[in-house]
Homo-oligomer: A and B are copies of this chain.
Amino acid sequence: MTKALVILSGGQDSTTALFWAKKQFDEVETITFDYGQRHKIEIESAKKVAEIAGVPNKLVKITALEQLADNAMIQDKEIVINKLTGLPTTFVPGRNLIFVTLAAGYAYGKGIKDLILGVSQVDYSGYPDCRRETIKSLEKTISLGMDFEFIIHTPLIDKDKKETVLMAKEYGALDVMKYTHTCYKGQRPPCGECPACKLRAKGFMEAGIEDPILSI
């Protein structure tokens, strides 16, 4: 009996990763973090996606990131490039590290060793916590820190948005895409104008598939 825990944001990538995981493991659970993100609609998306996938969804509220960061992903600020770091101001330092470590703590209590994270180092906006090298190091850190041999699976790590769309099709996650959330502006139907909407649209276009979200 294999079991895995998927970190589910409610976006396109983690949703695809969830449907991938459902084919790889006998039992799958999901965990979603409310970290003060701009758009609570993401959390509703995660809940709906988990419901459709027929898997439990644990929602965990993190207050700490709001207290630490002056950040466009959390606060309602314009998204610009930070001149110091070269990263967009949507970068929350250590966000994926925190998510995975908390997910690992939760998985530890349930005896689950397999964690699934839907990051890609292709379309990663330069976020250093989406790189394979970071994830590998994190896997070692959580395993040592809890004395438990975790494996962090990143099935999308080398995929661009087009390949992610094709993967969603392969694993039966196309229909559910209409409930996922991508738009930086928090709009539903999506604005179609923000960088996140444009990247998503490009992926569907290149895959030759119509995005179900456009029919809502």
Contact = CB atoms under 8 A, between A and B. Distances in A.
Interface of A: 33, 60-65, 67-70, 85, 92-94, 96-98, 101-102, 104-106, 108-109, 128-129, 131, 133-134, 137-138, 140-142, 144-147
Contacts of A92: 105
A162 to B, nearest CB: 27
Given A60-B68, A62-B62, A128-B144, 8 more contacts: A33-B64, A61-B67, A93-B105, A94-B145, A97-B141, A129-B146, A134-B145, A137-B145
A105 B93 CA distance: 5
Contacts of A137: 137, 140-141, 144-145
Q: Which 8 A-B residue pairings sit nearest by Cβ, starting from the closest?
A: A128-B147, A93-B105, A129-B145, A94-B105, A134-B144, A93-B108, A137-B141, A141-B141
